[in-house]
Structure 1
Amino acid sequence: MSKQIGPQSEVLFHFTIKLQDGSVADSTQLHGKPAKLKMGDGSLTPSFEACLLGLTEGSSHSFELGPDDAFGPVNPDNIHHMERSRFAADMSLEEGAILSFTQPNGAEIPGIVRGVAGDSVTVDFNHPLAGCQVTFEVEILAVEQQDVDK
């Protein structure tokens, strides 16, 4: 009998996330290294985890997820207009460039340059796939059940 993914399972799996046009946004197979997940640990959104529940070791499935169930809608509050002077003078600020910003607590957060107009740089701190409908393809390689009494 195949092992089934439950709320406490540890899962080893390959995944591919595709956009509506069929292009691949991310894939563990491209890197040749499967993902490992403990269900409920917060590393995947509840909607992504819900897609995995009940799947069995050795199976492959594909799921369509809308923006609210995948990476969320685009939040306009996460788009900031910044003065060009806040960036290094020799930094090339091109539309689509991904930059790293240090938050006050020291954590790093990526931002995508969405536009440069004069002395203003528009930086988007939303997840790059926010607002996108995606196809989530998974191949379940191994499932280990964890004791719920621990």
Structure 2
Amino acid sequence: MISDGDFIRLSYTAKLEDGTIVDTTDEEVAKEHGIYNENARYGDIYIVVGKGHVLPGLEEDIKGKDVGYKGTVEIPPEKAFGEYNPDLKDTFSVNRFKERPEIGQRVRIGDRIGTVERIVGRRVIVDFNHPLAGKKIIFDYEIKEKLEKPEDKIKALFVIHTGIDVKDVKIEDGKAIVEVSSDVYLNQVFLIGRYRAVKDIFENTEVKEIEIVERFEREQELLKLGEEIKAEEEAEKEGESGEEEEQTEEKEE
């Protein structure tokens, strides 16, 4: 039976009362319903129950269920994205934006993100409610697995906080050695999220020390090196071609 603190893997599809799909872990469903995001991670997700990794209403329904459960839950606005608040609208001068905004566009103003609702002359009205505020959300979900091994929990926490699958995790004498691919340090999300992952690892396992190790694989690195050299050579050729064209033009003059 699932309870607070459990690590679980699940899949879901969320929709509105009229059947409109608004979120899903299934890539094909996302493509079929026009909500596919090429930057999103699809597939089953991991959560730690009680940590707020999913909507409160969904988390409440998960508790008390068993692995393998498949079902549907209707979540009221107050346990989803909140009630709609008409006071969360502000008006701004169009000069506040680098480019003229469009109705329906999502914009960031300060530390808030909102939706352009109307444009009246040079005034822009922005709604800072969540796009799904005030709406009932219906979740079809399945609990796929409950994680027991600390190694699996560590892998899950890195996925939760960085969106990246680590290569391997080994635990020796209270020390967790986490192997990651060599290119993760170019990923800003990983650089920030790893600290949250480490914090949660200490809170949810008996691990006393964590070491993150880069793994370099011969074939991958040689392939990357070859691509870099090829790109540099092409750039040099383009530069030389440009110089030749300039010289030809000078002679014609």
Normalised-by-shorter TM-score class: 0.7 to 0.9
**Alpha-carbon separation, structure 1, partners of 2:90 and 2:42:** 36
Contact 2:61 2:73 survives alignment (8 Å)? yes
Identity of counterpart residues, as a percentage?
30
Q: Secondary structure at the match of 1:75?
A: coil
- How big is the alpha-carbon RMSD for the aligned residues of Structure 1 and Structure 2? 2.3
2:21 to 13, 20, 24: 24
Q: CA deviation at 1:76?
A: 2.1
Structure 1 residue 46 displacement after superposition: 2.9
| Larger relative contact order, structure 1 or 2 (CA cutoff 8 Å, min sep 6) | 1
Helix, strand or coil at the partner of 1:43: coil
How many angstroms apart in 1 are the aligned matches of 2:205 and 2:69? Answer: 28
**Residue in structure 1 matched with residue 69 of structure 2 by the alignment:** 59
Q: Secondary structure at the match of 2:144?
A: strand
- The TM-score normalised by the length of structure 1 is 0.82
- Higher CA-based Rg: 2
The TM-score normalised by the length of structure 2 is 0.51
The unaligned stretches of length 5 or more in structure 1 are 104-108
**1-side partners of 2:75 and 2:62: how far apart?**
13
Which residue number in structure 2 is paired with residue 6 of structure 1?
3
Greater share of residues in strand: 1
CA distance in 1 between partners of 2:86 and 2:49 (Å): 31
Match of 1:96 in 2: 104
Q: Which has the higher helix share?
A: 2
Pick one of 47, 56, 66 that aligns with 1:46: 56
CA contact (8 A) 2:10 2:144 kept: yes
**Regions of 4+ moved over 4 Å:** none
Which among 125, 128, 137 is matched to residue 128 of structure 2? 125
* d(CA) in 2 for partners of 1:76, 1:43: 27
1:104-143 equivalent positions in 2, closer than 5 A: 109-143=112-146
- Provide the residue aligned with 2:32 in structure 1: none
Distance 2:65 2:76 in 1: 21
C-alpha distance in structure 2 between counterparts of 1:130 and 1:137, whole Å: 19
Where in structure 2 are there 5+ consecutive unaligned residues?
Answer: 28-40, 151-203, 207-253
Question: d(CA) in 2 for partners of 1:111 and 1:60?
Answer: 34
